Amino acid sequence: MKYYILEPEVAGGLGQNADLDRSVHPPRVTRFHYQFDGWLGDPLLETVASFIVTDGLKEKIKTMQASGAKFGDVEISKSGEFEDFFPNRGLPQFAWLQVNGNAGRDDFGLSRTHRLVVSERILDLLRTEGMSHCDISEFNND
């Protein structure tokens, strides 16, 4: 099976309610707050080696019984910039995608350089779910 490195859309960053363990690199998020500055619509988003997915995508990943991922709660908010540029735009519900698999073996993993690695079947799912603002390259055990 082929594996791919993904660099998902970054639609914002960590909000003020996020808690981080800064004793490790990259910092480990212990409480996730994602603050949107914009959003192009992809179902998978990133900030600081942490990821969120729409609830719809989460359910499909669970149905597939994908390995290397679990889900947690994420607080979502909109920045003033988001409100200024997209005053009537709603956001769907999101979940924290917690990657705990091995890159190149599980459906979800992190490379040695902390980049998201997914199996070909997960990449196919992401594409059918509308992911179109993500850089994709083949994974070669970097």
Residue pLDDT, tens place only, 80-92: 999 999 999 999 9
Checking if the pLDDT of 48 tops 90, the result is no
Mean pLDDT of the chain, nearest integer: 95
Task: Give mean pLDDT, residues 64-76.
Answer: 98
* Tokens at 24, concatenated: 């490790």
| Claim: this prediction has a pTM higher than 0.75 | yes
pLDDT score of 27:
82
Strands (DSSP E) contained in the chain are 3-7, 12-14, 19-21, 28-31, 33-36, 44-47, 50-54, 69-72, 75-78, 94-99, 108-110, 116-119, 135-138
Q: What single-letter DSSP state applies at residue 119?
A: E
**Which residues span the domain enclosing 101?**
3-138
Split into its structural domains, the chain has a count of 1
Q: For residue 94, what pLDDT is reported?
A: 98
Mean pLDDT of 93-122: 96
